Amino acid sequence: MSAHVDRNKIPRSYREYLALMKDMGELVEIDDEVDWNLEMGAIFRHAAETCAPMPVFNHVKDAAPGFRAADWGMGKSGHPTQPWRRLSAMLGLPPETPLMEIQAAYIEAKENGRSYPPNVVDASAAPCKQNKWTGDQIDLNKIPAPLAHDGDGGRYLQTAGLNIAQTPDGKWTNWSTNRAMILDAQTMTGQWWPKQHNGMIWKMWRDEGKDMPWACALGVSPVASTQAASRIPAWVDEYDMASALLGAPLDMVKCETNDILVPADAEIIIEGVIEYGTQEPEGPFGEYPGYLPDETTIFPRQKVTCVTFRDQPILPMSIPGVPIDNCHVTMGFFISSDSVITLQKAGLPIIDGMYLFEAAILWFVIRVPKDWHDRTGWTLDDFMNRLGNTFWTDHVGDTVTKILVVDEDIDPSDVKEVVWAFASRNHPTFTTYLFPELRAFGDGIESYHTTRELSEDKGTSLVIYACLENADRVGRPEKRVMSFTENYPEPVKQKVLDNWERWGFGDGAASR
């Protein structure tokens, strides 16, 4: 690994990150009035699907004066040689850093850093407290939340912020990114799934028959965003991981109507309670597999008691759909990084791995060393069964139902290499492994689930595709790969590269 996180270069706020994106040519400000009813979503989706710069909406129909909205960030760039520069900039890395090196640097910084207690600041020093709505002043419809997709059940205010919840005993504070839609001027509803950490905490309050204090921080710093998108273990605070990544304490401030601490540099803070005994229909909402779900879900009502916000506040947005957009990159990169950590700590011979963005993060591609058998003494069956039973019984395995295991010569982030390895190295019978006894299910919003799976909340579709060349040829010569990189002597390759541009091919290096 050659890249290392430069903590001094990590943007300290969402606003600072957007300014950096503007300087890098990765941001376009739209000064025309844009309609929250589908027009914002159409602009966002077209920008994502063409790898165009991130849109910032400076004037949104019906929004309160000064309110703006913007792409959350971290999507794929259209830069010809730096596709992951929006992500690398969040972590203080050079813009040209390849995706797998970004992952290695991120894991190194996160695992080797130490956490710092929060720096709790006075409200007068917190940018998120510059303005305040209480009582009848609260009108969520004045925040520029979009009706993002044609078919959505409402305007989604929370797609890219932190839901913050704390256990009744105060021993665990969880940050998570879970969608939430506006019901009316002062109420919302969002997802609180029992298998997810925020749903686990809500259950604790529900078991006590109490409303749960809650806050939603919108437009937070990159280190906070990264941990809300992660899959760290239960009873571990995302704040601790964020401060370890930053290498410094985060400025935090207490809410106005409860005791929850929120990032002081956030753009907008929504605070209130999750109301005990309430049920509201939520959705549908177009999601990251690229489809609109068929049904609504039922979740509790979120009563808003206060809204605070910066001057000229910016609402971050993630409007998922077909790949690649910022939802695929944020979820895919950070969850896969935590998955690699989990698998390595379990003693599995894993180099790295990535949720393939082009596959709508429905494939987890894991790279293993060629000598995995010599290291472990395991058969391929042993290895794949250990892998499946480790991954799908851990919190990190909540979303993905398909794993592709590839040799170390395959870059897990390169869709061309992964497809080639899948097609040419996986045996559809002998190196394909099913796990029908495990209860992991995926998110349930994939397009392939049966009615029975959805009703029983139990999947039968967990599968590992071992794409390891010569799986039954231990000790025998490997087949030679017919590529420019692998098949030709170094002097021959160097001569080709030295003359490539002179011959009229341009300045790109030849590759498989």
- For residue 482, give the 3-state DSSP assignment: coil
What sign for the dihedral angle of Cα 394, 395, 397, 398?
A: positive
Does the annotation mark 453 as catalytic? no
The number of angstroms, rounded, from the C-alpha of 239 to the middle of its chain's C-alpha atoms is 17
- For residue 20, what are its two tokens? 């950096």
Task: HSE, CB side, 13 Å, CA atoms: give it for residue 205.
Answer: 23
Neighbours of 41 (CB within 10 A): 22
Q: Judge whether 175 is annotated as a binding position.
A: yes
- For residue 172, give the 3-state DSSP assignment: coil
Give Dmax (Cα) for the chain. 76
DSSP structural state of residue 216 = E
What sign for the dihedral angle of Cα 139, 198, 156, 129?
A: positive
Q: Judge whether 179 is annotated as a binding position.
A: yes
Decide: 350 and 396 in contact? Cβ < 8 Å: no
- For residue 53, what are its two tokens? 């710069």
- For residue 126, what are its two tokens? 């917190």
- CA torsion angle 40 45 48 49 (round to 10): -150
Q: Judge whether 228 is annotated as a binding position.
A: yes
- For residue 317, what are its two tokens? 């947005």
- For residue 373, what are its two tokens? 């058998």
C-alpha separations of 342 from 76, 332, 352, 390 in Å? 26, 15, 11, 9
- For residue 324, give the 3-state DSSP assignment: coil
* 26, 101, 271, 287: the active-site residue: 287
341 closest CA partner among 421, 407, 395? 395
C-alpha separations of 442 from 21, 296, 412, 439, 482 in Å? 33, 18, 20, 10, 37
**CB-based burial of residue 454 (10 Å sphere; 0-12 exposed, 13-18 middle, 19+ buried)?**
middle
Q: Judge whether 197 is annotated as a binding position.
A: yes
- Nearest 5°: phi and psi at 172? -140, 125
What angle is formed at CA 198 by the lines to CA 197 and CA 202, rounded to 5 degrees? 115
Q: Judge whether 238 is annotated as a binding position.
A: yes
Q: How far apart are CA 241 and CA 130, in angstroms?
A: 28
Q: Judge whether 196 is annotated as a binding position.
A: yes
Write out 5-64 in H/E/C secondary structure: CCHHHCCCCHHHHHHHHHHCCCEEEEEEEECCECHHHHHHHHHHHCCCCEEEEEEECCCC
Residue ranges of the annotated binding site are 175, 179, 196-197, 228, 238, 395
Residues annotated in a binding site for K(+): 175, 228, 238
**Active centre residues (catalytic):** 287
User: Annotated binding site for prenylated FMN: which residue ranges?
Assistant: 179, 196-197, 238, 395
